[in-house]
Amino acid sequence: MKVYRSLEEFTPLESAIVTQGTFDGVHLGHQKILRQLKNLAAMEGGETVLLTFFPHPRLVLQPDDNGLKLLETIEEKIAHLEQLGIDHLLILPFTKTFSRLTAEEFVQTILLDGIGTKMMVVGYDHRFGKNREGSFQELSQLANVYNFRVEEISAEDIEAVTISSTKIRQALMAGDLATANTFLGYSYRAQGKVVHGHKKGAGIGFPTANIHVDAAYKLIPGDGVYAVEVLVKGQRYQGMVNIGSQPTFQERAHAFEAHIFSFSENIYGEEIEVVFHFRLRDEMRFESVEALRAQLENDKKEALRLLANPTN
């Protein structure tokens, strides 16, 4: 997969089969669009192009709104899309100036002159252009004027619930990992650097890797204890994660920390990845350190039981 971070880097193609959107999380609905994109490209003898934006439009248009958290960093999205076999990933810098392009200007400047679009594949709710004024109907009308084709993908449903990145974010923030992972089609994950913490876990026999995620917009699941896998230096380990404020120790800082089973290496400064498979319980305050240690032993047993048959 070739990656471009501006339109100037991209040379228009003879037969570009294009889809466009933020594709946050590349969930099951997105994957359906990408499968159709690849099928059409094979039939047409064309090349697949995914057009996306960074930063996320809401981060630019609503800079004071700190509530938006995303399922993937741009680096995670690039790696994910490469696994799915897209030919070209065009990441356009999203600016306020860019946001003022009308639907027709977007089609002319970006899709036709910039990319060489022969066919556009979009989801059922696709919007584009200034103030998201462009609908599927308008895109179809412009396609007739400018001689390219448009194909619409209908809503992807699971048990009559339409999949969306927003619903996945809401599920993760509520600690509903099962729903989130089902809608994603894979187990949610987060990457970060191991930093020094208060070392309270080590003192009770459960040392933890305290994880700092650089991207402030990356969504970390809701507070609680999770059964996870941890990728360290290319190796995969089982473990459990606590997300929260460590109430037994009366710590005020919010922490994201992993206890890695059967692991004792010094990994300060290392980038690791946590794959969230199961939620074990809420974060709790215990009356004593001994009670906390006993609960952690039970958590570990349950995590090992569940991870014997991990999700994707």
Write out pLDDT tens, residues 149-176.
998 876 654 444 578 899 999 999 999 9
Q: Which of 113, 144, 162 is the last residue before a domain boundary?
A: 162
Q: Are 128 and 21 a contacting pair, CB within 8 Å?
A: no
- Cα dihedral 246/250/253/258 (nearest 10): -20
pLDDT digits (tens, 9 = 90+) for 270-306: 999 999 999 999 988 887 888 888 999 999 999 999 9
pLDDT at 68: 83
Shared-domain flag, residues 14 and 129: yes
Report how many domains make up the chain: 2
Element (H, E) at 36: helix 28-44
Q: Is residue 136 part of a domain?
A: yes
pLDDT digits (tens, 9 = 90+) for 182-192: 999 999 999 99
pLDDT over 70 for what percent of the chain?
88
Quote the mean pLDDT of the chain: 88
Provide the pLDDT confidence category of residue 137 given band limits of 50, 70 and 90.
Answer: confident
Query: Domain check: are 296 and 228 in the same one?
Result: yes
Beta bridge partners of 151: 121
Whole domain around residue 39: which residue ranges? 2-162
Q: Phi-psi category of 129—alpha, beta or left, where left has phi over 0 and alpha has psi -120 to 50?
A: left
Interior CA angle at 84 toward 3 and 70, to 5°?
Answer: 75
Q: What is the pLDDT of residue 158?
A: 46
CATH number, position 264:
2.40.30.30
What would the mean pLDDT of 223-228 be, rounded to a whole number? 96
What's the token pair of residue 5? Answer: 């971070």
Within this chain, do residues 204 and 283 fall inside the same structural domain, yes or no? yes
* Residue 16 shares a structural domain with residue 157: yes
Looking at the predicted structure, is the pLDDT value of residue 259 above 70? Answer: yes
Same domain, 33 and 124: yes
Domain-ending residue, one of 162, 177, 201:
162
pLDDT at 157: 47
Say if 82 falls within a structural domain: yes
Cα 251 from Cα 53, distance rounded (Å)? 38
CA distance 281 to 226: 7
Amino acid identity for residue 156 in this structure = E
pLDDT tens digits for 106-135? Answer: 899 999 999 999 999 886 666 666 666 667
What's the mean pLDDT in 227-244? 95
Query: Is the same domain home to 13 and 157?
Result: yes
Percent of the chain with pLDDT over 90: 61
